Chain A
């Protein structure tokens, strides 16, 4: 089964790439687009033999150990 993990910088942390994207979109006429923040998406396959609880437990462990730096980032498993 395929899982998606959405990782974003915490709200209080400046995300300069989003600001630049916002400026570029503005110059292309997308003035309504504000507060843009860029994050990252990681997609993972896990075997169907694991039950949902086991899968989420494994994803959580991988996030805490490597995929996410919880000092600056937060994550959400999109399933």
Chain B
């Protein structure tokens, strides 16, 4: 049985094609591209909410997309225990739907960050199980609102329940300050309690081809497929 996946496209998504190529090239299975106005989702193993500026980031990043027609189906998909990955704007959409805790606010530096960054795995889950504990991944970020925020109780909960998947760390592109955007506890990605939903600011779909600066993004899909 081959692995099936889907990418949701919202008006303003701009990483949906990268996400589609990422899935086609690495899963070798059927990949669907679903428009946000659709009300049904084919039965797939993984759904990606891609990066971009859905609905122009109006009101708050991800706020409008989180109320799209397709989102109910995406929630049903995730409630069925299948994988859901939100990348960048996709992560913002996941926090706005409440599927993931916290919120992503403006970068502390007030700068749009478009560069490579370094992350490492914090707690093990199905999205990072093929990555070693001290392995450093080089993956690009491209965001203005990537500063992860939640209240202290939630932060303790994320830590105690081991829901933090990735944290920013030092490397060539973040020599002085690993924490590129001001995120609490250097958080770059978190999961839900069931660990079938991951939201992350870095873009693994921009780090897997020969012409990319790094191929570390492959490791997310390889973990899921393993």
Task: Enumerate chain A interface residues (CB-CB to B < 8 A).
Answer: 9, 13-14, 16-17, 19-20, 66-67, 69, 71-72
Decide if B105 touches A66 in the complex (CB within 8 Å).
no
Decide if B60 touches A69 in the complex (CB within 8 Å).
yes
- Minimum CB–CB distance for A37 against chain B, Å: 12
Decide if A17 touches B103 in the complex (CB within 8 Å).
no
Interface pairs A-B: 4 shortest CB-CB: A16-B110, A71-B103, A72-B103, A16-B106
Decide if B59 touches A17 in the complex (CB within 8 Å).
no
Decide if B60 touches A14 in the complex (CB within 8 Å).
no
Known contacts A16-B106, A16-B108; 20 further A-B pairs (Cβ under 8 A): A9-B105, A13-B149, A14-B108, A14-B182, A16-B107, A16-B109, A17-B110, A20-B110, A66-B59, A66-B67, A67-B59, A69-B60, A69-B96, A69-B103, A71-B95, A71-B103, A71-B149, A71-B151, A72-B103, A72-B105
Question: Count the A-B residue pairs with Cβ separation under 8 angstroms: how many?
Answer: 32
Interface: B150 (CB within 8 A): yes
Q: Can you name the residue of chain B whose Cβ is closest to the Cβ of A19? A: B110
For the complex, what is the distance from the CA of A28 to the CA of B20, rounded to whole Å?
Answer: 49
**Hey, which chain B residues are within 8 Å of A20, CB to CB?**
110
For the complex, what is the distance from the CA of A20 to the CA of B96, rounded to whole Å?
Answer: 27
Interface: B63 (CB within 8 A): yes
Given contacts A66-B63, A67-B59, contact A72 B106 (CB under 8 A): no
10 sample A-B contacts, Cβ–Cβ < 8 Å, listed by A number: A13-B105, A13-B149, A14-B108, A19-B110, A20-B110, A69-B60, A69-B63, A71-B102, A71-B151, A72-B105
- Minimum CB–CB distance for A70 against chain B, Å: 10
**Hey, which chain A residues are within 8 Å of B106, CB to CB?**
16-17
For the complex, what is the distance from the CA of A13 to the CA of B48, rounded to whole Å?
Answer: 30
**Hey, which chain B residues are within 8 Å of A19, CB to CB?**
110
For the complex, what is the distance from the CA of A56 to the CA of B18, rounded to whole Å?
Answer: 44
